[in-house]
Copies of this chain bind each other. A is one copy, B any other.
Amino acid sequence: MARASVEAERKEQILAAACEVVSEIGFKSLRIADVAKRAGTSTGTVHYYFDTKRDLMHAAFDWNFTQSLGRRREILESDAPATQRLRDFVESYLPEGAATVGAWHVWAELWVEALHDPDLQELNERVYGEWRRAVAAIIRDGQDAGEFREGDPVVFANGLIGMIDGLSLQVLLGSRSMTADRMRAVCEQVLGWFFLAP
């Protein structure tokens, strides 16, 4: 066993580095040596903590999600009105800041890798379950408070999350027709249709 403190710290360093490299050059181009360099260590050390490249990437994908969830905990657990929480949630997803864009890149790589990897599909399933439940809970709150029109919260959560994913991809691809600002406008429009006028 690695000594607990060193192990946790070093793994974190390596996972953060792996996510940065994936975000910058993509999974396909990622070399263990790139990760090692970015983490300020050697390939030997990377392999000391992660047996294979696959293990490393699975752990990195998982870590990426944990970090994303952490960055949104404040929003999800806030006791602001549901309309506000939903707006904040959507806003926090817009691919604008470096952290969010980086996390989105890693997500996109995960998706495509998962197309041919059942273990990653399982990770996706777990994570999307969490997002879906979180959004559906906000919607239910909003409906209970009369801020939100009726309808199946899960259907709306699925539609909203799906739309965010699809639009974000276009933004990440640098589309001239779908900038972060335009995405914000589309999301606001859609939310507006579902919020009841105050």
B121 lies within 8 A of A173 (CB): yes
Which residues of B lie under 8 Å from residue A193 when comparing CB positions? 193
Which residues of B lie under 8 Å from residue A172 when comparing CB positions? 115
B26 lies within 8 A of A112 (CB): yes
Q: What are the interface flags for A123-135 relative to B under an 8 Å C-beta threshold, 1 for contact and 0 otherwise?
A: 0110011001000
Number of copies: 2
B166 lies within 8 A of A182 (CB): no
Q: How far is the CB of A18 from chain B (nearest CB, A)?
A: 16
Which residues of B lie under 8 Å from residue A27 when comparing CB positions? 28, 112
Interfacial residues of chain A within 159-176, with CB under 8 A of chain B in the complex: 159, 161-167, 169-170, 172-176
Which residues of B lie under 8 Å from residue A132 when comparing CB positions? 177
- Interface bracket on A: 35 or more
Q: How far is the CB of A124 from chain B (nearest CB, A)?
A: 5
Interfacial residues, chain A to chain B (CB-CB below 8 A)? 25-29, 105, 108-109, 111-116, 118, 121, 124-125, 128-129, 132, 151-152, 155, 158-159, 161-167, 169-170, 172-178, 182, 185-186, 189-190, 193
